[in-house]
Structure 1
Amino acid sequence: MDDLKKASQRKASFGATVKAVLWSFFGVRKKSDYEQDAQQLNPVHVIIAGIIGALIFIATLLLIVKSVVAQ
């Protein structure tokens, strides 16, 4: 339980978390950056940013499909 509390108190900003999640969606990440993120990112922020990123990705795909089908 102490590990979970320590992990949720990491000091990386939400912006840094969003940046790491966007890079993970793209699929390109340096090993050194990944290791640094694993030590600094708050896991709760990663989950929230991942859900927001997935929702934006799905909404973008839906808008593209609707605009193509409408033509």
Structure 2
Amino acid sequence: MDFIDLTPFRCPLALVKVKLALKALQEGEELCISLSDTGSRQDVPRFLKKVGYDFSELTNDEDILTLKIRRLG
């Protein structure tokens, strides 16, 4: 599983970086990302739901949201 720390980035750059990383994922592979920007914390999960990625929250506190994303077939 790859990990990308996106906490230094604000939306929309964080979302763009997630989209690029997802393009490289093969079926069944997982990606872990961390977000801190308020906009990114809302937009990234919304995007993942919209395009049908399987994801879960590993942490979600006042500072950081960490997601584990899995590419389905």
Q: TM-score, normalised by structure 2?
A: 0.35
| Larger helix percent | 1
| Larger strand percent | 2
Which structure has the larger Rg over C-alpha atoms? 1
Q: TM-score, normalised by structure 1?
A: 0.35
Larger RCO of the pair (alpha carbons < 8 Å, separation 6+): 1
